[in-house]
Amino acid sequence: METFVVTGGAGFIGSAFIRYMLKKHRDRRIVCFDALTYAADMSNLSSVMRDPLFSFIKGDITAEDDVENLFAAYRPSVIVNFAAESHVDRSIESPSLFIKTNVDGTGTLLDASLRHGIRRFHQISTDEVYGDLPLDHPEMRFTELSPLRPSSPYSASKAAADLLALSYHRTYGLDVTVSRCSNNFGPCQNREKLIPKTVWNAIHDESIPVYGDGLNVRDWIHTDEHSRAIDQIIERGRSGEVYNIGGNNEINNITLVKEILSVLDKPLSLIEYVPDRKGHDRRYAVDPSKIRDELGFEAEKHSIRDTVLHYANLWKA
Ligand SMILES: NC(=O)c1ccc[n+]([C@@H]2O[C@H](COP(=O)([O-])OP(=O)(O)OC[C@H]3O[C@@H](n4cnc5c(N)ncnc54)[C@H](O)[C@@H]3O)[C@@H](O)[C@H]2O)c1
């Protein structure tokens, strides 16, 4: 039976991927390897903790000993690297941790993968590596061939990690794939992020900060769809290739916040415009044709309303 190591699996999307995989495939073991930073929450994994196909190991991707012990003990054939510092605002305050975790940590995993031999290394990346698009050209979208022009220390560190992973394919012949996905929504996201934070503040009648003019556009996809796409790339994607994953679901921040307030029946007066984030990207949008044409993947629409109600019910109880 194959063993998949999922790094960062106690976080938002990694935990969704683990839940998805254990439901979908009963022919492989899943090992979650996570340093349990502020962003992790073990309750994200409570539904799988007793699954005999699941194991949890606390460890740091930047610590060579932790990674070596992991590979020696579990002999994984697939590595799915979600582990990262992921919050753009934190990267603006302290970039060095982002470089260490996102770049050095990926390098440590790649080295161990080479030493031990694996079937596939899948690097989870982000559409933010392409930088942003202007608001007045809605027809423009990033393809996998678009130049990398990251704006924040977070996205720059992710771009560096992508390139490092792809260089291990070219230089050493390691089997590597990379996916660059748009903004995710769904359960288990840290309360610092836009959707959960807006719900939390709204149900507690606290003001909801919106950066700048609120017109920044993001493309939203549910974590279950992101997980389904990753599963298909790992199984059928071509080695050495990058795949964009998008939801075809663009919405600007202020419209999203207003929708959340409407779902929760809260007044618009809770919105408070605050000075813009430094280097704030205006619009992200990826062209998802490659994954559709090569792997037949098209994201199904999930309503953001369900996610909003999920958090509201969780926190009201
Ligand atoms: N959230 C999004 O909308 C989004 C969109 C596209 C891509 N991504 C990418 O998906 C991945 C996961 O994002 P997320 O939102 O779930 O992040 P998250 O911050 O919720 O989770 C990150 C996880 O990584 C773990 N981690 C951090 N440093 C570690 C280390 N040194 N060793 C081991 N584990 C460590 C944390 O403990 C946490 O459990 C990231 O690589 C991110 O760049 C996120």
Average pLDDT, the chain: 97
Measured in Å, residue 84 CA sits from the centre of ligand 1 at 4
Neighbours of 6 (CB within 10 A): 27
- pLDDT single digits (tens) 42-80: 999 999 999 999 999 999 999 999 999 999 999 999 999
In the structure encoding, which two tokens stand for residue 122, read together? Answer: 């899948």
- 225 residue type, one letter: E
Ligand 1 contact via 106 beta carbon (within 6 Å): no
What is the distance, to the nearest Å, from the Cα of residue 105 to the centroid of all Cα atoms in its chain? 16
Atom of ligand 1 at shortest range from CA of 193? 1
Residue with tokens 């288990």, as numbered in its chain: 188
To test the pocket of ligand 1, the residue of 86, 102, 185 to mutate (highest count of ligand atoms within 8 Å of its CB) is 86
Q: What was the pLDDT predicted at 186? A: 98
Mean pLDDT of 225-238: 98
Measured in Å, residue 11 CA sits from the centre of ligand 1 at 6
Structural domain span for residue 59:
2-187+221-248+283-301
Measured in Å, residue 12 CA sits from the centre of ligand 1 at 7
Nearest CA to ligand 1 atom 8: 126
Identify which of 118, 81, 77, 240 has the alpha carbon closest to the alpha carbon of residue 167: 240
Q: Does residue 239 have a pLDDT over 70?
A: yes
Query: How much of the chain exceeds pLDDT 70, in percent?
Result: 100
- pLDDT single digits (tens) 74-117: 999 999 999 999 999 999 999 999 999 999 999 999 999 999 99
CATH number (domain holding residue 177): 3.40.50.720
Atom of ligand 1 at shortest range from CA of 128? 6
Ligand 1 contact via 232 beta carbon (within 6 Å): no
If pLDDT is split at 50, 70 and 90, which confidence band does 222 have? Answer: very high
Identify which of 119, 22, 19, 15 has the alpha carbon closest to the alpha carbon of residue 75: 119
Measured in Å, residue 124 CA sits from the centre of ligand 1 at 9
Q: What was the pLDDT predicted at 247? A: 96
Measured in Å, residue 82 CA sits from the centre of ligand 1 at 5
Q: Does residue 303 have a pLDDT over 80?
A: yes
If pLDDT is split at 50, 70 and 90, which confidence band does 279 have? Answer: confident
Ligand 1 contact via 231 beta carbon (within 6 Å): no
Asked if 142 and 130 touch (Cβ cutoff 8 Å), the reply is: yes
Ligand 1 contact via 13 beta carbon (within 6 Å): yes
- Please check whether residue 225 lies inside any domain of the structure: yes
- Please check whether residue 262 lies inside any domain of the structure: no
Mean pLDDT of 292-303: 97
Distances (CA, A) of 10 to 1, 93, 133, 187, 229: 23, 24, 32, 13, 19
- Please check whether residue 204 lies inside any domain of the structure: no
Mean pLDDT of 173-182: 98
Q: What was the pLDDT predicted at 317? A: 55
Q: Does residue 37 have a pLDDT over 60?
A: yes
Ligand 1 contact via 157 beta carbon (within 6 Å): no
Asked if 186 and 39 touch (Cβ cutoff 8 Å), the reply is: no
Ligand 1 contact via 291 beta carbon (within 6 Å): no
Mean pLDDT of 239-268: 97
Tell how strand 271-274 and strand 2-7 pair up. Answer: unpaired
- Please check whether residue 197 lies inside any domain of the structure: no
- Please check whether residue 203 lies inside any domain of the structure: no
Query: How much of the chain exceeds pLDDT 90, in percent?
Result: 98
Catalytic residues: 127-128, 154
Atom of ligand 1 at shortest range from CA of 41? 39
Measured in Å, residue 256 CA sits from the centre of ligand 1 at 23
- Please check whether residue 194 lies inside any domain of the structure: no
- Please check whether residue 49 lies inside any domain of the structure: yes
If pLDDT is split at 50, 70 and 90, which confidence band does 30 have? Answer: very high
Total number of domains in the chain? 1
Ligand 1 contact via 223 beta carbon (within 6 Å): no
- Please check whether residue 134 lies inside any domain of the structure: yes
Ligand 1 contact via 253 beta carbon (within 6 Å): no
The DSSP string of 185-217 is: ESTT--TTSHHHHHHHHHHTT--EEEETTS--E
